[in-house]
Structure 1
């Protein structure tokens, strides 16, 4: 039971900071926040993603490319140009690594206005740090696992960040329904998206890329948006009004 709780907690904490900080802040700047709070969110993203920490700068650049070139040959991770999700993950990882290591520079339109913390970004992406987190996960399993099948969850925790991205990019552009004609293949995979905290409302998001609420119809509930509203009310963040709203 402890392992299941640990896995679920890791799943949702990692996913929350991926959608709240990396996606809605680093890539889209849906809200503003003081530098201290930004650093706190940055650090919590590192801790919760652990062995699969995603560099905010690289994430923001690739996500902006994804919006600009959605489901075309220039889209860095459209499922319609790969035979399976593993090929898509592999190609995405290669492109991500180039931006992470600053071996490749993005086009000017995708640069800037994303959070950087060189210390965390460097050590969070270092192989030693990733292995260290993996060892901690394994030791936790060794202490608390009560059945052999629980160990099958451990590899998923090693790659939690990219796993979330793969689910969203694959399912959100292949399966579901559309509220809007965006000129791409984006879908709303499910009418209520608790499992991925609203990230699978891809069709809505591609229509309104700067809206902090990924839901569009009354029954489409984005679980992260109410949290952001409360944080706005508490003056932790300041939600920005989307253009045209």
Structure 2
């Protein structure tokens, strides 16, 4: 029971950080926040994502490239360019590392106005940090796992971000339904979204990338949208309307 609660908690908390902070805020600028709150959510993302933490700046660049070049050879993650889900996710990792370590030349339009905390990201993406989280997860399983079968969940916990990405970037470009006809393969996965907090409404998102609500029809419930509205009401963030990727940080 403890392992099940832990796994479910990590699944949704790490996914919330990804969709709220790295995706909607960093990549698309659906809202702004102060520098203090931005640093706070850097730390929240690190704690909730652990060994699969993603630099918001690097994620933002990679995701913008995905929108600009969907299903073309320049797309960092598309089933159109890979023979299977594993090769696609490996290519995604290579692109992520190349951007993170400045081995890849990036046009300024993909990197402008992104949240940046270089010292923190160097630590959070470093080997010591990754191994620390892996050791912590292993220790947790050793203490609380009541069956050897539960250890099958351990690799998913360690690579949680990759699993989230695989669901959207592979399956939502191969299966599902569309609300909008687009020049790419993005589709919505309605019944999968109970696991994905709005992220699997991918066709909607490619039509309206900066929209804070990923759902478009009445039955497409995006739970993170209501959290965003709550944060807006509490003045933690400020909702904006814009055509670019992301406005400047509010101070």
* Class of the TM-score when normalised by the shorter of the 2 chains: over 0.9
Equivalent position of 2:221 in the other structure: 221
Report the counterpart of residue 204 of structure 1 in structure 2. 204
Which segments of 5 or more consecutive residues in structure 1 lack a partner in the other structure? Answer: none
**Which secondary structure state, in structure 2, belongs to the residue aligned with residue 194 of structure 1?**
helix
Equivalent residue for 1:152?
A: 152
Where do residues 82-161 of structure 1 align in structure 2 (5 Å cutoff)?
A: 82-161=82-161
Q: Distance in 1 between matches of 2:62 and 2:55?
A: 11
Tell me which stretches of 4 or more aligned residues in structure 1 moved more than 2 Å. Answer: none
Q: Once the 2 structures are TM-superposed, how far is the Cα of residue 194 of structure 1 from its aligned partner?
A: 2.1
For the pair 1:189 / 2:189, whether they are aligned, the reply is yes
Give the TM-score taking structure 1 as reference length.
Answer: 0.96
Q: CA deviation at 1:75?
A: 1.1
Partner of 2:171: 171
Distance of 1:143 and 1:35 partners within structure 2:
39
- Give the structure 2 partner of residue 37 of structure 1: 37
Q: How far is 1:103 from its partner?
A: 1.6
Q: Which residue of 2 aligns with 1:23?
A: 23
Q: Structure 2 vs 1, CA of residues 130 and 184 (structure 1 numbering), >3 Å: closer, same or farther?
A: same
The alpha-carbon distance between structure 1 residues 192 and 81, as it changes in their structure 2 partners (threshold 3 A), is closer
CA displacement at 1:108 relative to structure 2: 2.2
- Tell me if structure 2 keeps the 8 A contact 1:67–1:206: yes
Distance between the aligned counterparts of 1:133 and 1:211, measured in 2? 33
Match of 2:248 in 1: none
Structure 2 equivalent of residue 4 of structure 1: 4
CA distance in 2, matches of 1:91, 1:34: 34
Stretch of structure 1 that moved more, 10-19 or 183-192 = 183-192
Pairwise CA distance, 1:71: 1.2
Partner Cα separation in structure 2 for residue 19 and residue 105 of structure 1: 26
Q: How many residues align?
A: 243
**1:77-116 deviation digits (Å, cap 9, x = unpaired):** 1112211100001111001100111122212221121111
Structure 2: distance between partners of 1:19 and 1:202: 12
Compute the TM-score of the two structures, normalised by the length of structure 2: 0.94
Distance 1:15 1:120 in 2: 20
Q: Can you list the C-alpha shifts for 1:194-244, whole angstroms capped at 9, x where unaligned?
A: 21111000000000011000001111111100110111111111111355x
Contact 1:26 1:57 in 2 (8 A): yes
Deviating more after overlay: 190-199 vs 224-233: 190-199
RMSD over equivalenced CA pairs, Å: 1.1
Deviation at 1:163, TM superposition (A): 1.6
